[in-house]
Amino acid sequence: MGWRFHRAAEAEGKPREIPSKTLVAWLLRWLYPMKLQAVMLVVVALVSISVNVISPYVSKLLIDEGIVQRNQDALVRYVLILVMIAVGGWVLGFARGILSGRMNQKLLYGMRSTVFKHMGEMDIAHVNVERTGKIISLIINDINAIGDVTTSGTIEAIIGSATLLGSLYVMFTLHLGLSLATVSVVPLMLILSRYFAIKTRQAYRLTREKLSELTSSVEQSVSGSRVSQSFAERRNIDITHFDKLSSETMKTNVRARLVFAMIQPSLDAVRTLSYVILILYGGSLVVSGEVTIGVLIAFYGYADMFYRPIITLTTFYSTLQAALAAAERVYLFLQVKPKVFESKDARWIEIKAGGIELKNVYFDYDGNTVFQGLNFKVEPGEIVAVVGPTGAGKTTLTNLILRLYDPKSGEVLIDGNNVKDFSFESLRKQVALVPQEPILFNDTILENIRLGKPGAPDEEVEKVASELGLDDLINRMPQKYETVVSPGGGNLSLGERQLISFARAMLKDPRILILDEATSSLDSYTESLLQKAMVRLMKGRTCIIIAHRLSTVKLAHRIVFLENGRIIEEGTHEELMRKEGAYAKLYELQFGATPEIKAKR
Amino acid sequence: MSKSAKHPFLRLLDYVKREKTLLLGALLTIFLGTMVNIAAPIIAGRVVDITMVKAVSELWVYAIAIMVLTLSAGGISFLREYLSESLAQRIVYRIRLSIYMHLQDLSYSFYDKVDAGQIITRVTRDTENIGRLLGFALPNIIGSITMLTVVVTILLTTNFNLALIALAITPFIALVSLSFNRFVRPLFEKVWMETSGMSAMIQETVSGFKALKTLGAEEEMFRRFEVKNRAIYNMGMKTVLIGSLTWPSLGLIIGIGSAAVYWYGGFQVIGGVVSLGQLVTFTMYLGMLIWPIMSIGFVLSRYAEAMVSARRIFEVFDTEPEVKDKPGAIELKTVKGEVCFRNVVFGYEGDKPILKGMSFKVKPGEKVALVGATGSGKSTVIKLIPRFYDPQEGSILVDGVDIRDVKISSLRRHIGIVHQDVFIFPTTIRENIAYGKPNASREEIERAAKAARIHDFIMSLPNGYDTVVGERGVTLSGGQRQRLAIARALLVNPSILILDDSTSSVDAETEKEIYESLRELVKDKTVFIVTQRLSTLKLSERILVIEDGKVVEDGTHEELMRKGGVYARLYMSQYAFQEVSR
């Protein structure tokens, strides 16, 4: 079923060009809430720029008035001014660092929260196919890459532009011809900048992609270590594969650095070209007496002031491109809107009776049809077992009730209310699912159970666990309830994990309980214990049990046999056995050859 | 975990030493670059002098000289970047590869304890940090030191007294840099911890996504994420504070330093001791002193960060695999399939034994079922056969040879194991089945798939065997995944086949078919089946009942039923209950 999603995701994963404008606008929106700080930061930065500009001028005064004119008072005065400038620079620098650092940290914090929250809201189908490594890299690497550039980069851009315009203005007032000569190489510089911008972005995109591939590969080999160690031949194959990936990562990194390394020398060369023009043209002007040597020396200074921001901005632009490549991934991730979402007027609906009805439900997984007009009804307090071969749609049925997916057409009703009218919280707090594959988190057993009802007191958690017969299990664990479940649940058997996941569901005290082969890995002894508890626990609740094991099925008031998305038989165990249809055949398969049972029957 | 006494930086240098050519090339370009930089102000000064004496004809020479200088500086810097990045990346590559290979050799017990997020960060981010140190920071510091040495020499020879005043600031700069290093380093360590905790958490959230959704626990998970996120934010803010204090302080020291030079130098010029020109040259070179010292401070923080990473990486290297080939281990060429446990005592945590003196002997070709309550140690028994763990006491023999005396790879080559938790790789079905034997022919793969009763399902997919299955196989049903795993184990044609509750999610009919087709395939193989479903027990010839880490009953189904012991009780409990509920 799910392979279709995977293909869709692969198609989406291909490099897609989001215009830089869109991304920059998106990033600026992140800064908007911090606009006051941003304004303060710009003010601080502009003041410190002015201080920087004053400093050489003070040195010039110090030399001209103090040293050349042998005025010791002036010398001491200007030295003191220099000291004051240094102290002022310290204050401004501190303010600038704190302001931009704070903005940066806030931005990173906010982005991480948003991405994680967004992931929580996404469709289960989408998160299933997203590679874990990719999401990790998104939250940790990509967001970090964006942060610094967005805050300090924006400030840098504003200050650079101010300096550039200022020096341009002064130059044109001094001498038109020399100004034109100075700026003559600007077009060449812009062409080069543009070229490098594109190249760097491509190169950095590649390095990030390679890193993400590498991350996935390590993730896979760590998670699959048990399998790979079981196959002796695998070691060399995996190492060769990783070697290839790792050496590709190395090459893309070197290549990206090469592109980056070309920027500064190329721009320096262009700038020097403008100096050469100044030396030759300006020099001849000085010789012919058209301008003074002072003007020419001033022009050297201003040319420097003019080109420095251009170069900084260009290098910044390239770093920005790297950040934009990361921003694009975050942006795209946030753009994916869940297909199943809480409607605006969804509300908390108390499930009182607990009746379930599927009315004329059509459903497919991207064209792979599961239900074509399924009608299915469970009365309040009824226990219904759903049986049938793999692929009949049993799990899909439960997915629809919990609204993990929406039907293509038809309705899913609980107590006559469409599940779409329920807030997610109200639906999932009152309907519990014990899945086939119990998922435990790297936390204590107590916390794992408590996840069913965050904030429940310890006593309540322990009471529920104890009612389900978990005491044996808990007492076996080294720290009892405080035993930490290792990542992936390695220190517990599948059966033990199923028990814990069962307790977690029961802690919700749900009106509707869905068991999706929840006890498949329990040994028959534990299962029978659990079943005795279940008989008690299921009283007064509506239950849907999906099971392969007929012993569990027998707890049900009614059995529904599902095949190819259709109900083909329905009734009590005895009725269905008498009918000698699909159910009876299944039953024979499981117990047919057992003499004791036959005798009893 | 044994800790190597050698400092992580020295261990990194061992990797650097292996790239002698690149290293020499990088160093050479660094020195050349410094020389070119020192020459630049001299030429610039000459140009001003020439313009002042109006010797226009000479301008051409200097214009060309400047152009040549710029181009060669550019060329050298490009070359330096290329060489140092190549050096860094090669080292990163080598470290990554060796850490990966080491990970492959680490035992089960390592993976039981460790969390995937941490390992991933070590292989990707930590190695990158080291790359940045070696590729950016190290060339930088070498260049800076060269520059400092040359400039300081020039200053001292030009005017010794003035130079002493100028250099008086260096201890202060060093002090600021060092205290920065001292405060920031522990912070980086903490940030690292929290960050890898965060990746582990994201990983958990993704793999447990359905569970979280159905529990309605997204809020709870988000709350926990926020705790980590907030912690990272707070530490980030501390780093910001330290950084904001450090860099301006360096600026302050340098500002005061140059004021002092102007003050002392100014009086010297007034007193006629030095010329104005000398003072100007002096301050120009003083300007060249600033960046190298600043960059040393910068490198120190990079160094701190990279050392944290290096320690983490070497920590993995220093973890010895608990299960490893002993010297002189022999190759196990063929295996008939006899398995013998002799008084085996084992626990995952040393003082908590799960198996408490387990003994049994299984003849070649026997089909044995292991039965027992949850937690009795069934799954543990079979994990010891391929030597995923070593017992604390007793021994395990295959064909009469202690498995600790043979090469692990040769032992495992003869064992096929289907784990309780099926792991499906996010790749095609074909590659998943052929996982243990990648060069398997199409026929072999299909035969294994048919035996595992998954072939028809695969063929119903539009891309058949080339269908890609989602990460961790979540998009396949539990039964389909188990069947895929069975096919995977069958393909390598093992002498000993272990099925650890491998058909729990398969429906009864399919399960029966699987066992029927297996019966033919595994006729001469030893088979261990751990199962909860008593109906499957009948396929095995012999049943071992395990209770509290020991074999308590041993025999055929009929024998054990007649005996009326633990097994009979266990067997009947399933059915007896039906009577109760009816």
Each residue's pLDDT, cut to its tens digit, for chain B (582 residues) gives 444 567 888 888 888 888 888 888 888 988 888 888 777 666 766 666 666 566 667 777 777 887 888 888 888 888 888 888 888 888 888 888 888 888 877 777 777 777 677 778 888 888 888 887 877 777 778 888 888 888 888 878 877 888 888 788 878 877 887 787 778 778 877 887 888 788 878 877 777 777 777 777 777 778 888 888 888 889 888 888 888 888 788 778 878 887 888 888 888 878 877 766 667 667 767 767 766 776 776 677 678 778 888 888 888 888 887 778 888 888 888 888 888 888 888 887 767 788 888 888 888 888 888 888 777 788 888 888 888 888 888 889 888 888 888 888 888 888 888 887 777 777 788 888 888 887 888 888 888 888 888 888 888 877 788 888 765 444 677 778 888 888 888 888 888 888 887 777 777 777 777 777 777 777 788 888 887 766 666 667 788 888 888 888 888 888 888 888 888 877 776 654 443 333
Structure tokens at A445: 């057993």
Closest partner CB to B419 (pick from A136, A226, A554): A226
The class that CATH gives domain B377-540 is alpha beta
Closest partner CB to A389 (pick from B237, B352, B507): B507
Number of Cβ within 10 Å of residue B296's Cβ equals 19
What pairs with residue B574 in β-bridges? none
Q: Is B345 exposed, middle or buried (0-12, 13-18, 19+ CB in 10 A)?
A: middle
Could you tell me whether strands A417-418 and B401-402 are parallel, antiparallel, or unpaired per DSSP bridges? unpaired
Determine the average pLDDT of the residues in A15-42. Answer: 82
* Interface list for B 255-284 with A (CB within 8 A): 255-256, 258-260, 262-263, 266-267, 269-270, 276, 279-280, 283
pTM of the complete model: 0.67
Highest mean pLDDT among A225-239, A377-391, B224-238: B224-238
Calculate the alpha carbon distances from B208 to A379, A461, B214, B502 in Å: 31, 21, 10, 21
Q: Are A246 and B415 a contacting pair at CB < 8 A? A: no
A-B contacts at Cβ under 8 angstroms? 523
Measured in angstroms, the CA of B76 and the nearest CA of chain A are apart by 9
Helix, strand, coil content of chain B in percent (nearest 5): 65, 10, 20
- Each domain of chain A, given as residue ranges in start order, spans 3-335, 356-591
- Given a contact cutoff of 8 angstroms between Cβ atoms, the answer to whether B577 and A549 are in contact is no
Distance separating alpha carbons of residues B286 and B219, to the nearest angstrom = 58
pLDDT tens string A268-306: 888 788 878 887 888 778 777 777 766 776 777 677 777
pLDDT tens string A95-136: 988 888 888 888 888 888 888 888 877 777 676 655 666 777
Q: H/E element holding A14?
A: none
A256: nearest Cα among A306, A203, A292, A220: A203
Q: Give contacts of B569 with chain A, Cβ < 8 Å.
A: 525
Q: Using a CB–CB cutoff of 8 Å, tell me whether B421 touches chain A.
A: yes
Q: Are A87 and B506 a contacting pair at CB < 8 A? A: no
What pairs with residue B499 in β-bridges? B418, B529
Calculate the alpha carbon distances from B111 to A146, A490, B85, B311 in Å: 33, 8, 34, 19
ipTM score of complex = 0.72
Sequence-distant (6+) residues with CB within 8 A of B116 are A219, A222, A223, A487, A488, B200, B203
Q: Using a CB–CB cutoff of 8 Å, tell me whether A403 touches chain B.
A: no
B525 φ, ψ (degrees, to nearest 5): -105, 155
Q: What is the C-alpha R_g of chain B?
A: 35
A23: nearest Cα among A477, A420, A404, A333: A333
* Amino acid residing at A587: Y
3-state secondary structure of B582: coil
The class that CATH gives domain A356-591 is alpha beta
Distance separating alpha carbons of residues B441 and B438, to the nearest angstrom = 9
Do domains A3-335 and A356-591 share one topology? The answer is no
> Does the pLDDT of residue A6 top 60, yes or no?
no
- Given a contact cutoff of 8 angstroms between Cβ atoms, the answer to whether B248 and A48 are in contact is no
Structure tokens at B215: 């529990």
DSSP annotation of A434 reads E
Closest partner CB to B70 (pick from A214, A268, A521): A268
Buried b (16+ CB within 10 A) or exposed e, B96-119: bbebbebbbbbbbbbbbebbbbbb
Distance separating alpha carbons of residues A189 and A314, to the nearest angstrom = 9
The full DSSP string for B74-142 is HHHHHHHHHHHHHHHHHHHHHHHHHHHHHHHHS-HHHHHHS-HHHHHHIIIIIHHHHHHIIIIIHHHHH
CATH number for the domain whose boundaries are B8-318:
1.20.1560.10
What pairs with residue A571 in β-bridges? A559
Q: Give contacts of B45 with chain A, Cβ < 8 Å.
A: none
- Each domain of chain B, given as residue ranges in start order, spans 8-318, 377-540
Task: Tell which of B68, B507, B514 to mutate to test the A interface (max A CBs under 10 Å).
Answer: B507
Q: Give contacts of A124 with chain B, Cβ < 8 Å.
A: 209-210, 213
Distance separating alpha carbons of residues A401 and A418, to the nearest angstrom = 10
3-state secondary structure of B521: helix
Q: Are A517 and B478 a contacting pair at CB < 8 A? A: yes
Residue with the bigger pLDDT between B189 and A232: it is B189
3-state secondary structure of A243: helix
Q: Give contacts of B579 with chain A, Cβ < 8 Å.
A: 600
Does the domain made of A3-335 have the CATH classification 1.25.40.10?
Answer: no
Q: Is A468 left (phi over 0), alpha (psi -120 to 50) or beta?
A: alpha
Number of Cβ within 10 Å of residue A32's Cβ equals 8
* Interface list for A 492-551 with B (CB within 8 A): 493-496, 499, 501, 504-505, 508, 517, 520-528, 531-532, 535, 548-551
Q: Using a CB–CB cutoff of 8 Å, tell me whether B242 touches chain A.
A: no
Sequence-distant (6+) residues with CB within 8 A of B335 are B398, B399, B414, B495, B496
Determine the average pLDDT of the residues in A143-155. Answer: 77
Q: Is B55 left (phi over 0), alpha (psi -120 to 50) or beta?
A: beta
Q: Are B535 and A476 a contacting pair at CB < 8 A? A: no
